[in-house]
Chain A
């Protein structure tokens, strides 16, 4: 039998249903794997006792014939989701010791479906980063290394701990959040699947807020089928999030029919960047070929405002962040650094509690929202955002789905790109448009770079059409036949 940690979620559910093993055994195997992989620094908080107690409760439910959608499946939770009574840090010093008195809706949905929590995984501070290097708890190592080169690489970010845990087979799946690419870029860097659902598909309630008009939670898994199963459990209307959509959640697993005959796939010419790595271009061309062979029709499209997406994002996201992060005042929770006055206490607490990148973004956000600059920057960005969203609306009159690369490069070394914030921001060039338009996007592992590192392809769908995104993602996955694993000769 396959090692319990090598199973997919679908495979684990099957084995549990057939009583080949219990959730307790499955969870125990993962708890041991988590302990053995501490060198990755993927976890901020391990919760082995809680995991085993949840597994025992799950086994009892299953014995009574009362099995949920994820009954007995051990998962890792990004440390941005509030978990009742369990330390929640958002990767920041300023949330020192914060144990929420409530559970986020998405994690509550997962527990209701029977899932088991292994612990809380590392991330860029407040989800601001593309490398996991901005975490107060230190960077995460990518389980992958370049062929013949043992130097540690970043797992991407901000959901870097989630991606590393799933790729290293120490969790069957993980939650992530995606504001500009924070699920899809780390998924691509670690050879796993990550889907950012349509804005409004998953409740944001109880997720530490970064940029509220862009943030969305989604699953990170080793297969598209697993992503479908996990998204099913995470999604749904929540009266506590006024932007969560009140619409039924379709059966995503049923969408994986493999039939994409006649489907129109758009190829946006603006995503072919000057100086893009030839291997990224080659992978994209292969993706086109695979979908063509499966019966899809390829259509050239234009998304003319693509080049303005990153600058738009770097006005809107910091503006929203500067407002959201105003709550960290050293009064109600987390770190407090005393001062002579209340104002000085605020200033000292926030200077000590926020890392460099977070301070930088709060200051940018404060600047673009400040009197005299609001119209020139913030309002302007909101208008360009409308044009970017409209590009997609026009494109989706002609096509059903859009295929692009997930990232402009494979994973880079820890410490690279740290001196130039804009070079780091460029990681999200293919993913950030999707957040601005509020659309669903998936990254599917599709090939290896010349150095033997995973590369991903991205599919972008119409709003609330995760079914087509998953269906085509499933076809890509089958065609790519990506079987490489970290640490194995390829």
Chain B
């Protein structure tokens, strides 16, 4: 006689594959179990697809709701959640899209999804708390938000993401979709998260600060990243006023 684990394995296999036969036989009883198992499959797929749509609204806007639901189903079956925490389900969706044949014509889509996942993680990170790095910049103390995350993209993910969220087709059509490497900063702001694209010098500065927390090394890294530019100007323009930077007078 099948035990509890056998029953649950059979039902899980049916819900994930859509093939109800074996589980229906095991459940037996007077009801038509296959039809009723399908209700549970539908509940599961709807809940998980909704969770993905909440995390990836720009990707959904770019491909349309119907196509997104189809991609979401394929992903759910390939990588079902491993924890009962749906707000953080779907971290592998961008990598899945990168290899998903039906979206091959949209090479930037995976980068937009990668950005959306980073936004989701930042929105669920603490807004306050111990900074990730804290340095003295000659009279000013610079601290980096505990929620700050960096992400490197190969396509103009930030403008595509903004235009998709705004539903702005004109803005979208004006974006040069060709390959262009960029470093994005993402951090918790209010109830959500904010994003900015960093120049090579400003990006190198933040990467070095996060890695070693040494101001001088970070300024050198910025100079090295853009030998023609002015690293102090880039830091002053992009880092000091940024939402992820906390400034205070140093003692």
Please determine whether chains A and B interact with each other in the same assembly. no
